[in-house]
Amino acid sequence: MKMKRIAVLGLCLLMWAGFSAFAGGSGEAAPAAPQAGDAAVKITVAHMFPEKDPYHLGILEAEKYLKEKTNGRITFEIYPNGTYGEQLNSVQAVTMGTLDVFNHSFSSDYYEPAGALQGPYLFRDYGHWRKFIGSDVYKEIVAGLEKAMNSKIISSYHYGFREVVFTDKAASPQEFNGKNMRVVNFAPYPEAATVLNTTGVPLGINDVYMAIKTGVVKGTENPLQQIRVNNFHEVTKYLILTDHMLAIGTWIMSDKKYNSLSAGDKKLVEEAFWVASKTIEQGYEAAEKECVDQFKAAGLEVITPNKTPFMERLPLVFKKYPKWEEIYKRVQAIK
């Protein structure tokens, strides 16, 4: 009798376990669902620079890093040299989630305090920039920009101090006065013209060469490597080392794409884009002396002006962007 009761009890338990499994209960475990980190991931990446520029080489290094870390599971679809679209349209595509990653300058269009980081004479040198990256003010601006743009900032970088190539000789605000110069066609880059005391003409980079050659503008301001890659030294006579802005930027990723990644993939992607940033910085820094020597050999006269008169024009910039002054003070205080 006792054995019979045990058998019946065992049969009941077996039936309960089978019902629980069918109903999704705590019976036999179902096979584990695939994790997000196990899925193949394609990331669309766009930028505005030529394929021989350190910018593009940085992206290739980031792609290589991810392929090695994931055995090719995470790949890039790359659109260099503005082939995806113009700067502002591409930024908008990221904020809307139709493009995954784009290079973005710290623009005041979305978050006014961010524009200060592209303001004139903010950074003393590359060491100052690298210390700034670890500062509270950097973190605060990144957080504000991410919220305003519905995007994730996955790394930041510099790509050299901006200098001037000109068809006329000029080494002071007085000598720049009455002349014009191409400036980047969105804020805050036109403030380069404010501190130099010249008239800024906003143009896309692909229009600059012919604009100088035909006399529409007297020159342009760009990092040395960009001047070389775009051959602006061929149509100018003077290289003026004003160091008036440190060209800096970020890689922004759409929230839609970022939030679709597993925690592990988020970490890997951020690591990869810091690899890209380091490659960009090293490429631009290494190219600077080489560029100056090449421009001299091409016949340009190199001028190293006194920067103090240009820096004394900063109050004109703060008058236009009053929120910048406090950020300037905080960044300048970083030693």
The DSSP code sequence of 204-244 is -GGGHHHHHHTTSSSEEEEEHHHHHHTTGGGG-SEEEEEEE
Q: At residue 16, does pLDDT exceed 70?
A: no
Question: What is the predicted pLDDT for the residue at 34?
Answer: 39
Q: What is the pLDDT of residues 277-327, one digit of tens each?
A: 999 999 999 999 999 999 999 999 999 999 999 999 999 999 999 989 999
Phi, psi of 328 (to 5 degrees): -55, -45
Nearest residue to 333 (alpha-carbon basis) of 155, 126, 157, 131: 131
Q: How confident is the model at residue 259 (pLDDT cuts 50, 70, 90)?
A: very high
Neighbours of 305 (CB within 10 A): 19
**Angstrom distance (rounded) from CA 16 to CA 22:** 10
The least confident of 9-23, 113-127, 198-212, 256-270 is: 9-23
Q: Which CATH architecture has domain 39-332?
A: 3-Layer(aba) Sandwich (3.40)
Phi, psi of 154 (to 5 degrees): -100, -10
Question: What is the predicted pLDDT for the residue at 308?
Answer: 98
- In this prediction, residues 96-122 reach a mean pLDDT of 91
3-state secondary structure of 215: coil
DSSP label of 37:
G
Q: How confident is the model at residue 270 (pLDDT cuts 50, 70, 90)?
A: very high
For 52, the token pair is: 């021989």
**Angstrom distance (rounded) from CA 253 to CA 155:** 10
pTM comes to 0.82
For 326, the token pair is: 């406090």
Break the chain into its structural domains and give their ranges: 39-332
Over the range 137-154, which residues count as b (16 or more CB within 10 Å of their CB) and which as e?
bbeebbeebbebbebbbb
